[in-house]
Amino acid sequence: MSLFNIEMRFVRKPKDEPYWIVEFPSEVEVKLLASRSVSLRNCIELWAHAPNVQKLHEELKLYPKSLMQPYVQADKSFKIEVDTFCKHFSQKEKVDKLEAFSYLPVDGPVDLKTPDVTFQYIEYYGIIPHCPPEQPYEVFFGRWVASGLRQLIKKLSLKTRKFIGNTSMDPQLSLLMANQAKVTDGSLVVDPFVGSGSLLVAATQFGGYVWGTDIDYLMLHGRTRPSRIHQKTRDRDESVRANMKQYNMEHRYMDVLVNDFATPFWREDFRFDAVITDPPYGIREATERVGTKKEGYEVKAEHLPTHIPAKIEYGISNIYKDLLRFSARHLRVGGRLVCWFPVFREDYTENVLPHHPCLELVSNSEQTLSKVTSRRLLTFEKTREPTEDELDEYPVDIMDFREKYFVIREESRKERRMKEAKIREDDRLRNLNKQS
């Protein structure tokens, strides 16, 4: 809504329901919103809603005929869709419900495939699928206006994508991140931990021109071990570029570069519209940067052509310090950084989040990963250009997520082994008692 400067008013504030009842100035704003939203299923112009079916029909009969007239004329074909949430109906039950709307003053022909007008009847049975009530909590009737972009999730499915890795971001989250970053036609976007390029794929769908960098040479050249179960070797043409070609977005692909993010690479005056990334946490992907613990180490000139630089640990604190500093320098004012940040749920407060004086945190939401861990989707917006001193500012001290993660995992394994050993011992004692 902020991207298109759309005004929206809640008619009823949502709680746990999977729908909103809202008011827009016109259908134009509704269609603009639907043209970007991957969470939205569809929008309907609400003609009637009630707590039960009988009252819905009473309310619909009172809907002004003058507002219905443009959509029920003889030259307008139509269909009525029956939709339910958390309850299944047979086709016969759906037809019975349709026939109850025979009083509608529609004069046009029925067209189930390509109608001029689609009406929707929706019954809502709550959000607990295994025990729906006998009667719906609420029922709705209205005219379909627009559908969201949920089909993009299927189109960009990792199951059919040419090139993926162990940590490829699923398409729905990738598209949400591109929306959080306000990627629009002509935006210049970079992912500094690009991996197999899932976030770049999403950004191109909204018109972005994309760059990526990563320290993993083998990944960017498609030479890592395949991620698919039955695939033994990678195809020769697997690459981020191949993904762009698969979705006809090669013209929006700038390049991906092998680069150590800890080392400044871009010209200081180069600006991006968005930085979208999922930095490594050190769990499934290593956190590394170029370096060596040897003092005075120097590569001889004859070895330079074939030299592969040594790598050392690149802690999470340093990764996020560099990420925020990079964004403060290389984002345009108003540009956005969208990134994931891992946390232990028991330790979480906003004080543990990385921050920078030139970046305002505008969004912070949680994705639960396990009983003890989650990750936060953070969106920062650049408010001004930094001073040289601010480019060296550190974020708050960040706990080493990787170290604590493996400690907790080992404790969980130890507890599990002790429980299994106790069960075996109890079984052994029971068998001895039976023999006695």
Q: Which whole number is the average pLDDT over 232-259?
A: 95
Length of the chain in terms of residues written = 436
Where do the H-state alpha helices sit in 206-334? 217-220, 240-246, 316-330
**CATH of residue 301:** 3.40.50.150
Residues 393, 367 within the same domain: yes
Does pLDDT of 396 surpass 70? no
Q: 123 and 262: one domain?
A: no
* Paired tokens of 270: 């180069």
pLDDT band with cut points at 50, 70 and 90 for residue 229: confident
Distances (CA, A) of 259 to 133, 215, 219, 306: 57, 5, 12, 17
Cβ contact 261:278 at 8 Å = no
The per-residue pLDDT for range 296-309, each reduced to its tens digit, is 778 888 888 877 78
- Residue 394 pLDDT more than 70? no
Lowest mean pLDDT among 52-66, 208-222, 226-240, 300-314: 300-314
Assigned domain for 68 exists = yes
Residue at which a domain ends, from 399, 414, 429 = 399
Same domain, 177 and 312: yes
Instruction: Quote the pLDDT of residue 391.
Output: 81
Looking at the structure, tell me whether residues 77 and 219 fall in a common domain.
Answer: no
Angle between helices 198-205 and 171-180 (to 10 degrees): 60
Domain annotation covers residue 432 = no
Pair 299, 190 in one domain? yes
- Single out the residue in 114, 149, 184 at which a domain terminates: 149
Do the bridges between strand 117-124 and strand 138-147 make them parallel or antiparallel, or are there none, so unpaired?
Answer: antiparallel
State the pLDDT at residue 436.
Answer: 66
Is the same domain home to 139 and 178?
Answer: no
Given this model, what pLDDT does residue 361 score?
A: 97
Is the pLDDT score of 429 beyond 90?
Answer: no
- pLDDT for position 139: 97
Same domain, 135 and 278: no
Could you tell me if 347 and 208 lie in one domain? yes
What rounded mean pLDDT belongs to the chain? 92
**Residues 258 and 362 reside in one and the same domain:** yes
The two tokens of residue 181 are 């970053």
d(CA 163, CA 228): 10
Do 139 and 172 fall within a single domain?
A: no
Write the CB contacts of 425 (distance below 8 Å, at least 6 apart in sequence): none
Domain boundary among 149, 173, 195: 149
Statement: residue 425 has pLDDT above 90: no
Domain count, the chain: 2
Q: Would you say residue 189 has pLDDT above 70?
A: yes
pLDDT 10s digits, 111-142 = 999 999 999 999 999 999 888 899 999 999 99
Residue 271 has pLDDT above 80, yes or no: yes
Question: CATH number, domain at 27?
Answer: 3.30.2130
Partner residues linked to 336 by β-bridges: 274, 381
State whether residue 210 is helix, strand or coil: strand
Predicted pLDDT of residue 395? 60
pLDDT at residue 214, rounded to an integer: 95
In a domain, 104, yes or no: yes
Q: Are strands 9-12 and 21-23 parallel, antiparallel or unpaired?
A: antiparallel
> Would you say residue 414 has pLDDT above 80?
no
Predicted pLDDT at 309:
82
- Domain of residue 309, residue span: 163-399
Q: What is the pLDDT of residues 8-32, one digit of tens each?
A: 999 998 888 999 999 999 999 999 9
Averaged pLDDT, 267-287: 92
On whether both 360 and 305 belong to a single domain, the answer is: yes
> What's the pLDDT at 311?
87
Same domain, 109 and 186: no
pLDDT of residue 149: 95
**Domain annotation covers residue 433:** no
Residue 365 has pLDDT above 90, yes or no: yes
